[in-house]
A and B are shown apart, each in its own frame.
Chain A
Amino acid sequence: MAASPLGTLKNKLLFAAAWLAWSLMQVKILHDWGFAWYVSAMDSLVSNVLLASVTIIVINNLRYYRPKRGKYIYVIIVCAAKAGIWSAIVKYAMINIYPNETEYLQFLDKFMPIRFDIALLITLCMALVSELYYTLDEQKDSEHRKTDAEKLAREAELYKLRQQLQPHFLFNSLNSISALITIQPAQARKMIQQLSEFLRGTLKKEDHQWISLDDELQHLQLYLDIEKVRFGHRLNTAVYSDESTRKLQLPSMLLQPLVENAIKFGLYDTTEPVTITISARRENNYLVVSIENPFDPETSSPKLGTGFGLRSVQRRLYLLFARNDLLSTNHIDNQFTTVIKIPQAV
């Protein structure tokens, strides 16, 4: 249910002040017309206290029974009825309070239709104001719900994008361990430990969304080390990051799919020894990381940009920063480079 427009202290004071001003004005007018001060004051007091009460009732009625769109005629009828009841009560009350002020009572009788019109106008105005107020309030409410829902959907999507772990990687690694167990038990144990640490890191990263480059590179190193066990005979890695970049922040698991992509095209799809290079630098307010890998132009077309890994990163960057220009790729001869820019909070 919407809050009443009179819910805040500020609005209450405003409401009271408006009525006070209105009442004082009425006293002055009646006095100027030749009525005694006390008659004018009593008239103003009785009529305006009653009218204020009527408007409060109107405000509250609308709060509980909102008219359907286009059914405002009922609001007008209800207001008219209330204004009618109000005029009857004012008349009855004044006759009883000042039965001997004949001049005043004649005036009251004569001008009652006009005062009814004014009362109707005021109640209608109040009805209009509160109707607008409630509609606005509802709109704000649904707007709020919408952004809430969008935020939830976005978080779910981000979560899913982060979660993309290559099942092939996991099963092939387990297969390597299976091979090592009989021939090199110590190496097998080491690989289990590396794989566990890598998986733990992947799971843990859900909690805090941003991490330092240092942490992300350590995590990637585990991944690369595992791949080295599988393809040790031909995988070389080079990771460069200078002192100034170590503490820079980036969303967790953002580089992982890019490195996986580099491994996929650079290592899985080639037969020669390869070097995967990761280098980080600071440029103005950006952390810039480039990942280089060779590819086999014979088997993979250079439009690698369509790979799922890259698309998911692109999407994540868009959801996080609302920008599409933070990820770029290029290739020279058989060397493919992916460059990602991560804006740093100032």
Chain B
Amino acid sequence: MKKAIIVDDEPLARMVVKEYLQQHTSISVVQECNDGFEGIKAIMQHQPDVIFLDIQMPKINGFEMLELVEQPPAVIFTTAFDEYAIKAFESHAVDYLLKPFSQERFDKAIERLQERDAASSTGNTRELLETAAQGPQQSQRIVVKTGNKIKIIPIDDVHYLEAADDYVKIHTKEGAFLKNKTMGHFEKVLNTQQFVRTHRSYIVNVQLVTRIDPYEKENFLAQLKTGAQVPVSKTGYAKLKSVLGI
């Protein structure tokens, strides 16, 4: 028996999935969730085999929710997103269903799920997130987990990012948060006019830079409004200068 979770903010939309699932006795719905927060809790609690996931939801969207899950299960998107927007994720998700969808179309998605090797689905969900993160809406905020709380950081509140082993430390006025991502990832998704990788281990919000002082040979230190100092390498200095227009 496969365990499934439905995450959608519309009760009627969840109802359709449940109704269509009645044809598939090998899958049982263990929980329905109203939003991404509930979704994360339910995934941790039930360790489902598959989630039916809406994209546009309150608090955090479907992609952001998946980012916060350590071992994302197989995903079938159920969304009214237009086909064009969803095409990018097509190869990575098990399937995507455009609302409203038919029982036949739904059955096909379940078929794909059954065919899929369980071991590979997790890897695919990771890839899916990398693709999704490049969507234009993604770089407006960063969603992090602290303990069992979820925090949404608006991009303007980010002071600078610092590499920390397998994590990236996100420094904000409310302290630092860890996110299981690479510096390269953030360099790619963040707006390059606002965030500059000044150093192998640092990305800085240029809006906060007040001064750049020389420091040791060919290195610099960027002074932030907040009092923090961020190392700037030689190449980082050149990038910073071109963004600041000096």
Contact = CB atoms under 8 A, between A and B. Distances in A.
Interface of A: 167-168, 171-172, 174-180, 182-183, 229-231, 233, 268-271, 296, 298-299, 301
Given A167-B82, A271-B35, A175 B58 contact: no
B58 A296 contact: yes
B228 interface: no
Among B12, B35, B58, the one with the most A-chain Cβ atoms within 10 Å of its Cβ is B12
B13 A179 contact: yes
A185 to B, nearest CB: 14
5 contacts: A172-B13, A172-B80, A175-B99, A183-B15, A271-B35
Given A168-B80, A174-B99, A178-B100, A298 B59 contact: yes
Contacts, number: 65
Instruction: Report whether over half of chain B's contact residues are helix, strand or loop; otherwise say mixed.
Output: loop
Nearest to B143: A299
Interface of A is mostly: helix
Given A271-B58, A301-B154, A176 B34 contact: no
Contacts of B10: 172, 175-176, 230-231
B100 A175 contact: yes
Interface string B137-157: 000010000000000101010
Contact of A299 (B11, B15, B56, B152): B152
B16 interface: yes
The 7 closest A-B pairs by CB, nearest first: A171-B80, A175-B99, A179-B12, A178-B100, A175-B100, A176-B12, A179-B16
Interface string B98-136: 111000000000000000000000000000000000000
A269 B64 CA distance: 14
Nearest to B155: A301
A180 B100 CA distance: 12
Contact of B19 (A182, A270, A271): A182
B68 interface: no
